[in-house]
Amino acid sequence: MLALLNGTPPRLVVDHPRPHRAPGEARIRVRVAGICDTDLQLARGYMGFRGVLGHELVGEVVEVDDHDRARWLGRRVVADINAGCGACADCRERDGHHCASRSVLGILGRDGALAEELVMPTRCLVAVPDGVDDAHAVFAEPLAAALHVLDELQELARAPRGAADAHRAVVLGDDKLGLLIAHALRSAAIEVLLVGHHEAKLALAAVAGARTKLERDVELATDASSLVVEATGSAAGLALALSLTRPRGTLVLKTTVAGPSSVDLSPVVVNELRVVGSRCGDLRRAIGALARRAVDPSTLIAARYPLVRAEEALAHAATKGALKVLVDVAS
């Protein structure tokens, strides 16, 4: 089958073996896949992954265990990318996102979505309602990660130290992740200040009701917040984020970057900041937001390519400032 394999450089192959489906898994025919900044970092050597790239998808279940046929066969689905063991405490009591033996779709130990087919445990699947089209459903995974920031706001509001501005957030970064976070927070009526470098991109967040500022116009005295989300993936962005986080506030880190960075962390100690890594979120919450049309990601789509041009799609996604590139696998 056609598949985009990670390597130096990533390459499209026409004879990749179709994945073996184990009991408890569904075979999924991919309809649309998205290219994420994490895919670009993987292509640069992050995690040392050498399988099929891609973890953002909407697809159709074409094979499943007999007892799951009525529920899943023929259904459009999205998938939680974390395939945990299903038996450990993290899988039983939480979401399995930190299961010690998990594989991660297109990232760790499991071939991904930039291929004609993939397999995932049925417990990872979420059905896509008929009213959500493929071009929106493919945003479910990154939108779930964006909406996960709401959990940090709730934690901040519950904390004994409290925060008078626990209903507002500053988001740094106006690329696709920062924009999606701004849209996600606005869907929950959170006041958002999005800080970036590109007036045209900031305008996409303004449509959703976010306030926006060019980074050069930021004023630490008036723009600081008890919740700051860093989505630039740069040392300069992290340094600014630390400066914008109010004493005893929370700084959420949302980007994965291949390679080290050098940042002065003394503000974390001096201002008693809470620094939180934030990765995957709840896919059901994301699909619900898309079904209610609380979030419209269509303005974030930069281009669409067929799978046979997946190498070109990856190159486009890697161009500076590119928004979301989709790959139409079914075509």
First-to-last CA distance in the chain? 14
Q: In this predicted structure, what is the pLDDT of residue 262?
A: 83
Tell me the per-residue pLDDT of 266-291, one tens digit each, with 9 for 90 and over. Answer: 999 999 999 999 989 999 999 999 99
Taking 70 as the threshold, does the pLDDT of residue 172 lie above it? yes
Q: What is the largest CA-CA distance in the chain?
A: 61
Q: In this predicted structure, what is the pLDDT of residue 260?
A: 74
Tell me the per-residue pLDDT of 287-308, one tens digit each, with 9 for 90 and over. Answer: 999 999 999 999 999 999 999 9
Question: Residue 247, preceding bond cis, omega within 30 degrees?
Answer: no
Question: What is the domain partition of the chain in residue ranges?
Answer: 3-144+281-328, 149-277
SS3 label, residue 102: coil
21 vs 233: which has the higher pLDDT: 21
pTM of the model: 0.94
Looking at domain 3-144+281-328, its CATH architecture is Alpha-Beta Complex (3.90)
Taking 80 as the threshold, does the pLDDT of residue 155 lie above it? no
Taking 70 as the threshold, does the pLDDT of residue 259 lie above it? no
Q: In this predicted structure, what is the pLDDT of residue 76?
A: 98
Contacts of 140 (CB under 8 A, 6+ apart): 56, 58, 78, 126, 128, 283, 286, 287, 290
Question: What average pLDDT score do residues 65-75 get?
Answer: 97
Percent of the chain with pLDDT over 70: 96
SS3 label, residue 11: strand
Cα–Cα distance measured from residue 126 to residue 287, given in angstroms and rounded to the nearest whole number: 8
Average pLDDT of the chain is 93
Type of residue numbered 142? P
Find out whether 40 and 56 touch, Cβ atoms under 8 Å: no
Taking 60 as the threshold, does the pLDDT of residue 164 lie above it? no
Q: In this predicted structure, what is the pLDDT of residue 161?
A: 55
Percent of the chain with pLDDT over 90: 83
Q: How confident is the model at residue 151 (pLDDT cuts 50, 70, 90)?
A: confident
Question: What average pLDDT score do residues 182-206 get?
Answer: 95
Query: What CATH class is the domain 149-277?
Result: alpha beta
Tell me the per-residue pLDDT of 105-133, one tens digit each, with 9 for 90 and over. Answer: 999 999 999 999 999 999 999 999 999 99
Find out whether 111 and 1 touch, Cβ atoms under 8 Å: no
Q: In this predicted structure, what is the pLDDT of residue 255?
A: 84
Q: In this predicted structure, what is the pLDDT of residue 258?
A: 64
